[in-house]
Amino acid sequence: MAAPRIVVFAGSIRTGSINEKLAAAVAARLAAAGARPTHVSLKDYPLPLFDADLMARDGIPAPARSLVELFFEHQGAFVASPEYNASFSPLLKNAFDWMSRVNVEGRPPLPAFKERAFALGAVSNGAMGGYRGLTQLRTMMELGLGALVLPEMVAVGNAAEAFGSDGGLANERAAGFLDDVLGKLIRTAELLW
């Protein structure tokens, strides 16, 4: 069986984003574990604010279709999500809202979110490590999009000290937990395909 392909991205496009650092660390750890990660930025998929009138007039924007096509090429995904006011980023919500409108003939509804495994993680300055935002993201993905989200979520606090000079997580316990979650993501993705 071929190594599963896992798309990795952050719900932030800000320069110096700590969650983009987490996404980069995840991509490196997935490659080390034998998976085939594809690390992308939502900056490369610019989307207008979701508007049903805009969709009725102009259709689905090409970047939303491209994101869905990208997901079709992968068996799993890791989302590094910043916490915004105890929730997740508007950028991520907007991308998922547009992606949820893409229908593909011969595929189930919400095709980008079906038949693949998702893992979630966050880094924040606070002690909870973005956990509150992850719970909101998980709810939206499971209940709203029907996605299979692993129960374990990686929440790394104290962002200023979170990463070592090699770009990986500095805390051994957190790094070990991340590796466990990524191992489960790889195994689940393999089972789905």
Strands 5-10 and 76-80: parallel
**Which residue shows structure tokens 């957190």?**
174
Q: Which domains can be identified in the chain, with CATH numbers?
A: 5-192 (3.40.50.360)
Reported confidence tier of residue 2, pLDDT bands at 50, 70, 90: confident
Q: Are 112 and 67 in contact (CB under 8 A)?
A: yes
User: Using CA atoms, how far apart are residues 171 and 22, in angstroms rounded to an integer?
Assistant: 13
Distance CA 167, CA 153 (A): 20
- CA 118 from centre of chain: 7
pTM over cut 0.85: yes
Taking only the tens place, the pLDDT of each residue in 90-132 is 999 999 999 999 988 888 778 899 889 999 999 999 989 999 9
